[in-house]
């Protein structure tokens, strides 16, 4: 068994819905982790998208279906070709995926257009999981920013005066306070595009990050119009929550083989597909089988 | 033989099914629920699988017998570096007049002459001193608070309700039409191995298991635990005492002072399987030197005075070897308390079974059912 780390970046807002009613003013909230409140893309959604319905028809005897059943699993029975007897062709999945957790959250910034936020809790969890799975851990130390601080890279675009102004929160800019960390994360996640990331990187406190995970989601109001009068139908106004574009997620794939199944340049995940939600691009290196 | 502590660390929220039916038929629930903690048999099966996978000899009949004999003690819930134990059932936490939590201690009570009760012969009821409604959410106690409670002190525990529940709704998509399939809408309650509600209260949690590895084997580091083959990572901890809750010195000292006639108490740290349901079968046999008794109980004769046992819990499962369901058995839940009087023998010998299983059957003990915590009353 081995593990691979996967990074996904949202190209359009992502709506991994919860499938149940929300008690707040948002009609369609996004899925969140129970212990932190951070948005998350469930592993079952990832698996379903990567499988793309292959190998589910029991009479499909193609090579592609056989590979999909081996990698993603299958439960069912099939008649033998030489008799009326049924045989069980169930098998457990060879590939295991974990939930895609938020790694960098884009937040509108007064300077530099937007900032990529992360916090010590997110990085420490990533480091813990890397260690548990036997992957190389982050080498740079993770500083602990104060409640009103933003630790930045040396070469940064998001400072205005001596402050980082995010939405309605002003933070004291510490230029160079997290330069080693920003460089390492940029290389790990974005590779050649690291510059675009490093210029916007900001390490903030856990509470500031949690605040933006709560308040920094995109809230999209939508209406349904009557076709004849072009006025809003009764009950036709609703609010959707979505994780904003440019967000970076991290997840892991665990198994003996089948890693080539995750080599897709992009996927569409979550609800509201026909209005463009949920395009994710794959970051990082390609994997052999 | 060397003993090790394994720490099980989850990479996704885990699913510990409670055995209720879960199907698409009309009228039945379409929701799978999770137990608070996995059953000892679930964790024992996982550990044996990891050891077998690491050995790489396959799973032949002989190999299965060897693995089946591995002694697994656990699971205990750990929050950060702190071991949490199920709340004892002889402690009732209620809100006092000023709103702060108070604890009522339940102790055996001898009814005055002329009064009686319908408990089995020889058993005393427990005395309730306050007419109060118990507070909810006090499901786990930190190990140091449990230690004080076992020594007979009054403890106001922290409010720890355990692992949070994360409910997810799943759909099966019809690939051709791109919409949800009929009857394939269901919800599942998972347990992330994390605690808290926001980053301020967030704390990582893990499961800890103690096991004997007679040939020095090491388990495979990555595996699947519980329902839906959810991924977990396993780490072997080098130091046994640092990661397990060894018997505290204060309890050892206290037990060394006891003799015949001493009053001792047993608290279960994991659910136990007894032949008579709630009642340990070894009570009548303790102190007789009979073979196959739980460790430490062969030399100390105990008399059961009273018991505080929670509602019974079922355990069944699937027998992979015979390809059939296991029969349902009923467990005494974790946290159950048994009050004993020592009739003969040295009470300090009981501590040999500290956090070791005390179920009646040998295989149930190897699976880790009924870890024992000893105290006085």
| Rounded Cα distance, B270 and B262, in Å | 25
What does the pLDDT read at residue A21?
Answer: 66
pLDDT one-digit tens code per residue, B178-235:
787 777 778 888 999 999 888 888 899 999 999 888 777 888 999 999 888 899 999 9
Residues in chain A with CB shorter than 8 Å from the CB of B170 are: 19, 44
Of B170, B229, B235, the CB nearest to A132: B235
Mutate to test the interface with B, among A3, A35, A73, A134 (most CBs of B within 10 A): A35
The residues in B 156-185 lying below 8 A from A, measured between CB atoms, are 164-171, 173, 175-176, 185
Q: Flag if B166 and A1 touch (Cβ within 8 Å).
A: no
What does the pLDDT read at residue B23?
Answer: 67
Q: Flag if A35 and B170 touch (Cβ within 8 Å).
A: no
Of A56, A96, A128, the CB nearest to B231: A96
CA distances from B270 to B41, B99, B132, B358 (A): 11, 32, 28, 10
CA distances from B280 to A221, B150, B274 (A): 62, 20, 5
What does the pLDDT read at residue B185?
Answer: 78
Specify which of A209-218, B160-169, B320-329 reaches the highest per-range mean pLDDT.
A209-218
ipTM (interface predicted TM): 0.82
Is residue B229 less than 8 Å (CB to CB) from chain A?
A: yes
Residues in chain A with CB shorter than 8 Å from the CB of B192 are: 33-35
Of B11, B166, B195, the CB nearest to A252: B11
What does the pLDDT read at residue B174?
Answer: 80
A129 Cβ contact partners less than 8 Å away, ≥ 6 residues apart = A98, A252, B11, B233
Of A35, A52, A125, the CB nearest to B195: A35
Confidence of residue B368 (pLDDT cuts 50, 70, 90): very high
| Rounded Cα distance, A166 and B159, in Å | 36
**Which two three-digit tokens encode residue A238?**
């609703």
Separation in Å, CA of B12 to nearest CA in chain A: 6
pLDDT one-digit tens code per residue, A21-45:
667 788 888 989 888 889 999 998 9
Is residue B142 less than 8 Å (CB to CB) from chain A?
A: no
Residues in chain A with CB shorter than 8 Å from the CB of B230 are: 96
Enumerate the β-bridge partners of residue A166: A109, A169
Is residue B322 less than 8 Å (CB to CB) from chain A?
A: no
| Rounded Cα distance, B197 and A177, in Å | 29
Residues in chain B with CB shorter than 8 Å from the CB of A53 are: 173, 175-176
Instruction: Compute the half-sphere exposure of residue B152: CA atoms within 13 Å on the CB side of its CA.
Output: 11
Confidence of residue B338 (pLDDT cuts 50, 70, 90): very high
Maximum CA extent, chain B:
78
pLDDT one-digit tens code per residue, B230-264:
999 999 987 778 889 999 999 999 999 998 899 99
Residue A64, H or E segment: helix A63-72
Q: Flag if B200 and A1 touch (Cβ within 8 Å).
A: no
pLDDT one-digit tens code per residue, B129-179:
888 889 988 999 999 999 999 999 999 999 998 898 888 888 888 878 878
Separation in Å, CA of B50 to nearest CA in chain A: 11
Residue A232, H or E segment: strand A232-242
Residue of B nearest to A271 (CA): B179
């Amino acid at each position: 068994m081995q593990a691979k780390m996967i990074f996904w970046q949202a190209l359009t807002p992502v709506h991994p819905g919860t499938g149940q009613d929300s008690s707040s003013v948002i009609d369609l909230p996004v899925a969140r982790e129970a212990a932190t409140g951070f948005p998350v893309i469930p592993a079952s959604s990832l698996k379903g998208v990567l499988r793309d319905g292959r190998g589910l028809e029991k009479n499909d005897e193609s090579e592609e279906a056989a590979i999909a059943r081996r990698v993603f699993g299958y439960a069912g029975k099939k008649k033998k070709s030489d008799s009326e007897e049924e045989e069980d062709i169930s098998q457990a999945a060879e590939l295991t995926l974990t939930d895609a957790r938020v790694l960098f959250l884009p937040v509108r910034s007064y300077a530099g257009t937007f900032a990529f936020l992360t916090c010590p809790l997110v990085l420490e969890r990533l480091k813990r999981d890397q260690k548990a799975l036997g992957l190389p851990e982050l080498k740079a130390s993770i500083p602990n920013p104060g409640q009103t601080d933003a630790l930045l890279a040396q070469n940064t675009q998001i400072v205005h005066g001596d402050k980082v102004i995010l939405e309605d929160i002003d933070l004291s800019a510490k230029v160079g306070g997290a330069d080693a960390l920003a460089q390492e994360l940029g290389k790990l996640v974005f590779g050649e595009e690291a510059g675009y990331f490093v210029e916007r990187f900001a390490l903030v406190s856990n509470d500031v990050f949690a605040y933006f995970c709560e308040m920094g989601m995109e809230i999209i109001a939508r209406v349904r119009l009557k076709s004849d009068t072009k006025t809003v139908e009764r009950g036709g106004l609703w609010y959707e929550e979505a994780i904003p574009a440019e967000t970076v997620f991290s997840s892991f794939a665990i198994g003996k083989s089948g890693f080539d199944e995750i080599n897709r340049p992009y996927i569409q995940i979550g609800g509201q597909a026909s209005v463009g939600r949920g395009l994710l691009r794959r970051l990082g290196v390609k994997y052999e089988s | 033989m060397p003993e090790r502590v394994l720490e099980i660390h989850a990479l996704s929220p885990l699913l510990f099914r409670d055995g209720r039916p879960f199907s698409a038929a009309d009228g039945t629930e379409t929701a799978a629920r999770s137990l608070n903690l996995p059953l000892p048999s679930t964790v024992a099966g996982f550990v044996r699988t990891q050891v077998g996978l690491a050995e790489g000899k396959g799973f032949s009949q002989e190999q299965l017998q060897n693995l089946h004999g591995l002694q697994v003690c656990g699971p205990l819930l750990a929050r950060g570096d702190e071991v949490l134990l199920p709340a004892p059932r002889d402690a009732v936490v209620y809100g006092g007049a000023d709103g702060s939590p108070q604890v009522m201690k339940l102790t055996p009570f001898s009814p005055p002459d002329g009064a009686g009760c319908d408990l089995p012969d020889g058993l005393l009821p427990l005395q309730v001193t306050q007419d109060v409604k118990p507070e909810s959410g006090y499901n786990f106690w930190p190990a140091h608070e449990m230690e004080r409670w076992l020594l007979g002190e009054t403890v106001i525990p922290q409010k720890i309700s355990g692992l949070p529940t994360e409910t997810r709704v799943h759909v099966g998509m019809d690939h051709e039409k791109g919409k949800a399939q009929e009857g394939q809408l269901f919800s599942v309650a998972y347990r992330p191995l994390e605690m808290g509600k926001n980053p301020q209260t967030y704390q990582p949690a893990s499961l800890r298991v103690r096991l004997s590895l007679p040939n020095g084997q090491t388990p495979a580091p990555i595996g699947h635990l519980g329902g839906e083959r959810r991924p977990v990572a396993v780490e072997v901890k080098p130091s046994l005492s640092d990661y397990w809750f060894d018997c505290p010195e204060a309890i050892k000292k206290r037990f060394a002072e006891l003799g015949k006639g001493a009053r001792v108490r047993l608290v279960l740290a994991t659910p136990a399987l007894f032949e008579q349901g709630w009642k340990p079968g070894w009570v009548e046999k303790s102190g007789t030197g009979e073979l196959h008794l739980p460790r430490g109980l062969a030399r100390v004769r105990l008399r059961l005075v009273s018991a505080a046992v929670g509602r019974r819990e079922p355990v069944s499962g699937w027998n992979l070897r015979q390809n059939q369901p296991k029969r349902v058995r009923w467990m005494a839940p974790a946290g159950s308390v048994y009050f004993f009087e020592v009739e003969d023998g040295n009470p300090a010998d009981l501590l040999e079974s500290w956090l070791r299983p005390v179920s009646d059957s040998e295989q149930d003990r190897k699976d880790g059912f009924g870890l024992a915590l000893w105290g006085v009353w």
